[in-house]
Amino acid sequence: MGLLSLAIWVPIAFGTALLAFGRDENARGVRWVALVGAIVSFLVTVPLYTGFQNGTAAMQFVEKASWIARFNVNYHLGVDGLSLWLVLLTSFITVVVVISAWEVITERVNQYMGAFLILSGFMIGVFAALDGILFYVFFEATLIPMYLIIGIWGGPNKIYAAFKFFIYTLLGSLLMLVALIYLYNKSGGSFDILSWHKLPLGSTAQTFLFFAFFAAFAVKVPMWPVHTWLPDVHVEAPTGGSAVLAAIMLKLGAYGFLRFSMPIAPDASHEWAWLMIALSLIAVIYVGLVALVQEDMKKLVAYSSVAHMGFVTLGFFIFNELGVSGGIVQMIAHGFVSGAMFLGIGVLYDRVHSRQIADYGGVVNTMPKFAAFALLFAMANCGLPGTAGFVGEWMVILGAVKSNFWIGLGAATALIFGAAYTLWMYKRVYLGPVGNDHVKELTDINAREFLMLSLLAIAVLWMGIYPKPFTDVMDVSVTELLRHVATSKLP
């Protein structure tokens, strides 16, 4: 069994075992098994980075076996510079999420932990799949655990949110399925994604494929105007669910653009780049303004996620090296930062059971340690140099200016809004005199929460101060992708 298979199946095996044998009576054991499972699956992914050959755009750690012979579907895995860090991000966030749920989840612990571990395996599968059907299976399968996570452990309006999440994302993916089958027939009976990259396609076919993929990935990212499910879902989802959703699931969509839309339909991608850029800029600017007026912390961070993901798609569709690499770096950075933001909100919510900004004020007086972490993450969220948030945004803006000054300017304004809503929220929640009795009774974070936030803080700082490991890995892959996308595939 190869490393990638292990990365996928170890968490799924642990998760399944928890579902089958775990009970609430032995919740303690369940938590430990879940933590061991998450750590083991993280450790399994580490050699992917240490053994990764920089300087080649070829797929690495490739595994291939026949799976459904009738349709020539293969169990075909591999990672390149575009997907490597996303795999590591997924296994890392899973460890953090397991820690975050430790004492918070007391009912049906085994199902909660099991769902997250299985979800983690599925998401790694999405990033590692090189076969269209394998990709689709993992892509769709993530809906099942996430639906249950939102619906079982979510807030008061959880059922509405769970349905909205499921139906929205399912519609997109089903259209993608039609596109996948179309490509299968076009390519003479192959589901190999890499071979699709070389397939010559007419402009009508490319446009059709581009929009079928757009339906799947834009909803997942989510891009304006199909982003409306995200705030609803974030507000209702439990802390861990929000963290995984923002940190990883949104990346499934952005990754899809890189792996499918751009290389398979390059001409259509160029033709419709104006649309993608326009939608991204609307996300960055308009949704940033929407975030400014939110009363609910989770909603604010959710809208800020939409704005930050706008940077990612913007970077991709300006078609230069800085933009695309910046987009990918932004994906990883947003994974750490948004994960941290949601977990931070979770820490407050566990104590006060409110996410309204108005219910807080002066938290720094009662929770100094926590406020320090929150400050770091807030700064990362506004893109302060030295934090993870800075690198990607800066690269994207630079790339955008290179291609068109006005686009660059538009993107840059987002930094102002980002700073405005994040800092204003920070001020209202943490600074000033103690707001009310709830805040007065707050206790600072315990060792578990300290550990969880430190892990993320280290990642955020490391990526901000020394982003080389991230960019080195993807350099060649990005160049290769751009070279490929620049070549017309019209027959």
The residues of the shown chain that bind another protein, judged by CB under 8 A, are: 19, 66-71, 108, 111, 133, 136-137, 140-141, 143-144, 147-148, 151-152, 158-159, 162-163, 166-167, 170-171, 174-175, 177-178, 181-182, 184-185
Nearest distance from C-beta of residue 469 to another protein, angstroms: 34
Nearest distance from C-beta of residue 388 to another protein, angstroms: 33
Other Cβ atoms closer than 10 A to 416: 12
Nearer to another protein, 152 or 431 (CB): 152
Nearer to another protein, 72 or 365 (CB): 72
Nearest distance from C-beta of residue 265 to another protein, angstroms: 17
Nearer to another protein, 17 or 177 (CB): 177
Nearest distance from C-beta of residue 177 to another protein, angstroms: 7
Measure the CA–CA gap between 408 and 413, rounded to whole angstroms.
9
Nearer to another protein, 110 or 313 (CB): 110
Nearer to another protein, 74 or 305 (CB): 74
Pair 254, 217: CB distance under 8 Å? yes
Nearest distance from C-beta of residue 140 to another protein, angstroms: 5
Residues composing the chain: 491
Tell me phi and psi for residue 210, to 5 degrees: -55, -45
Nearer to another protein, 53 or 185 (CB): 185
Q: At what angle do helices 321-352 and 388-403 cross, to 10 degrees?
A: 140
Distance, C-alpha 401 to centroid of its chain: 26
Measure the CA–CA gap between 491 and 481, rounded to whole angstroms.
20
Nearest distance from C-beta of residue 174 to another protein, angstroms: 4
Nearer to another protein, 61 or 166 (CB): 166
Nearest distance from C-beta of residue 270 to another protein, angstroms: 25
**Partners of 79 in the β-ladder:** 60
Nearest distance from C-beta of residue 284 to another protein, angstroms: 30
Nearer to another protein, 85 or 139 (CB): 139
Nearer to another protein, 50 or 185 (CB): 185
Measure the CA–CA gap between 248 and 256, rounded to whole angstroms.
13
Nearest distance from C-beta of residue 42 to another protein, angstroms: 23
